[in-house]
Each structure stands twice: as structure tokens, then as C-alpha cells.
A = this chain, B = another copy of it.
Amino acid sequence: MVTMKDVASRAGVAQSTVSYVLTGSRRISERTRLAVEEAIAELGYHPSVSARTLRSARTQVLALALPRGGDGYRPTDGRFAIEVCDAARAHGYDVLMLTEREGVPGLRRMAGGGQADGAILMAVAVDDPRVAVLRELGLPFALLGTERAPGGRGADGAEDFSGAAPFADLDWAAAVELALTAAAGAGHTGLAYLPCAAEEVAGRKGYAVRGLAGAGAAAERLAGSTRVRLLEPPAPDALYEELLALLGDPRRPTALAVQHVVGVPTVLAAAEACGLRVPEDLCVLPIGMLPGDTAGRPLPRIELPVTEMTTAVTELVVAAIAAHGAGEDPGAVGHRLIRPALLDAQLLHAG
């Protein structure tokens, strides 16, 4: 292995000088810098990450807590992971994966061993226990989704997140409300909302409960003019049958907002089975699908702003790390709530 010592002797300088060239933490003359750089290139030197970490106590690594694999896997999860990784690299960080399977002990292990400077948590639930653990461990972090229960809005219409842990998220409540309101505005008089899977609602995942809250708000707001049916959070096996019952009924809705994204193909299959054409007979409006994924046909939709969320959450955790290093409060870096955008709204038009 090539070390700084080798580079130093090759360049005819002290080992510490090589370090200064690399870190830039002291002025070095042009002549010396060039000699060192040449020696580095000639020897193919790469600094040892573990030695650097040991001495400096900075790992340049972020831990990313992924959700569960297996049945609970959602196609969006991997896309988030990849884009978080790219965003982190742009800030000079690598990303170490943790899975739901390891849970809280995994976070403890990581923080205890000093393997990461900060953490990003995916699939955050209301009052997520991991948040308390991270605070206790003193590890800077930011969340994808918030641990706050959906709450009342302030005077300016914005939700109050003071004291909440740093996070980036789509405003799911606003998204669902926008979808339903827009459908009503386009002339649909029978609306329905299909929430996330029962397991996600039961697990109080932020996106799931906030979507429900938004649907409730929309139902209330539209109460005078339009009926909004809030469907039960579906169990995977029961979804198809429930949809058949819903869509087979003569008083069926004409527009269906679907936050249960992995259920979109099932919705389309059920519609077909009931002899309904999409979009002529039934307007299907997915919320939170991956950008570019139009489920095989053009649909009005609200996509998941993956890149915005991942760049934002990365910036937040990087800022939290900096604050932590400066002795300030890493939890005070704020949050980013992303406004939903309705795409292909012209496809909403009622039959």
C-alpha cells in the first residue's frame, strides 16, 4: 500500500507537508505543491479513509435507513436510495445502507461505532421511535417524511412544524386535496379516494396518514356540491374484490384518486372487469407514483417529487452535521414541504 510517507520521500518533503497539500489547511508554495502532486500521480496514491477518519473523527458517510424488503417493498424505495446516494456524493458523502430489519439497534450500532456523520430515515411514521433514538445518540439527521401527526394549519394556511425534526416531504395532504378538488372542478360529482395499504396506515406512515387527512379536508370542503367517498385502507388480498364492488355499483364514482400506488394496476384491472373504460367511464388519478411511470396509459396524476425530496433531505442533513460541528442545534435546520403539482390535468374532464 502506498502511504503519505512514500509520497513525501518521493517528493522530498515531510509527510505533514503532503497532508497539507491534500487538505489545503495550510499555505503551501506552488513549487512544493507541484512536486507533491506529481509524486501522488506517479505512485498512484490514495489516502486511507480509515486513517483519515480515525484522526479527524469525520467519516464523510451518511447512513440511510431503508424500509423493509419482502412484501412491504415499494418500487419507490429503491429510486429514493439511488438518488439520495447521488445527492450525497455531490456533497462529498458516501452512503451506508441500513434496513428496517435491523431497526433501532442498527442505528445504535452505526452511531456507536462512529460509522456515519449523519443519518437519513426513509418511510417515517408518526412519532417514529427512531427519531427519539437519534436525538438521544446525538447523531445529526433528516427525515424523508415527517414524524409529526398531521395538525391544524396556522393563520397563513401553512402547517406549524416548529420543533419538528428536519425533514423533506411532498405535502401529501395538499396533494390529495388538490387531486379531489381538481376532479370536482372538472365536473365529476362522484369522487372516491383509495388510501395507502392498510399496513401502511396501521403503521402510521406519514404519507399514509397525511393523505387520509387531506382527503378528509377535501370531503369537508366539497360537502355542499360533491360526494367524496373515503375508501377503507385496503388489505392486499381484498383490494380487487373491494374495487369490483365499488365499480360494479350503479352509483359508482366517476373519478378515483389513488394514493395506494402499487394498487394502480389492480384498479385498472378491476375497471376493465367491470366494463368501464379509462378515462371515458372512470377517471383514475394516481398520487405519488414515480415520475415517468404512467402505468401504461396517459393518466392525470401527481407524481412523487423524488429528486426534489432527495436533494432537499441531503442538504438538510449536511446542514445539520455542520451545525453539530459548530456546536449549534442540528435540529434547527428547518424543513422542506413540497407543493404538489397536478400533471396532465386536461385528462380529468368528466365523461
A residues lining the B interface (CB < 8 Å):
1, 44, 46-51, 53-54, 59, 61, 64, 66-69, 71, 73, 75-83, 85-86, 89, 94-99, 101-102, 109, 112-115, 240, 262-270, 272, 290, 292-293, 295-297
> Could you say which of B67, B69, B112, B269 contacts A296, with CB atoms under 8 Å apart?
B269
B residues less than 8 Å from A82 (CB atoms): 66-69, 73, 77-78, 97, 99
Q: Oligomeric state, in number of copies?
A: 2
What's the Cα separation between A113 and B53 when bound, in Å? 11
Once A75-B75, A97-B95, A296-B266 are accepted as A-B contacts, the answer to whether A114 and B290 lie under 8 Å apart by CB is no
Minimum CB–CB distance from A140 to chain B (whole Å) comes to: 16
Specify the chain B residue showing the minimal Cβ separation from A101: B86
* Most B CB within 10 A of own CB, among A53, A95, A97: A97
| CB contact between A51 and one of B54, B79, B112, B297 (< 8 Å): that residue | B54
In contact, A49 and B115 (Cβ under 8 angstroms): yes
Residues of B within 8 A of A109 (CB): 46
Choose among B86, B112, B113, B269 the residue that contacts A297 (Cβ–Cβ < 8 A).
B269
Complex CA gap A262/B97 in Å reads 26
* CB neighbours of A86 from chain B (8 A): 69, 99, 101
**Contact partner of A78 among B1, B77, B292, CB < 8 A?**
B77
Residues of B within 8 A of A75 (CB): 75, 78
Residue in contact with A50 in the complex, picked from B59, B69, B272, CB distance below 8 Å: B59
Looking across the interface, which residue of chain B has its beta carbon closest to that of A56? Answer: B50
Q: Once bound together, how far apart are the Cα atoms of A269 and B277, in whole Å? A: 10
The residue that A96 contacts in the complex, of B77, B95, B265, with Cβ under 8 A, is B95
Question: Does the CB pair A296–B79 fall under 8 Å?
Answer: no
Q: Is the CB of B83 within 8 A of A69?
A: yes
Alpha-carbon gap, A162 to B101, bound state (A): 37
Inter-chain pairs besides A46-B113, A54-B54, A78-B82, 8 sampled, C-beta below 8 Å: A46-B109, A46-B112, A48-B113, A49-B114, A51-B54, A68-B82, A78-B81, A95-B97
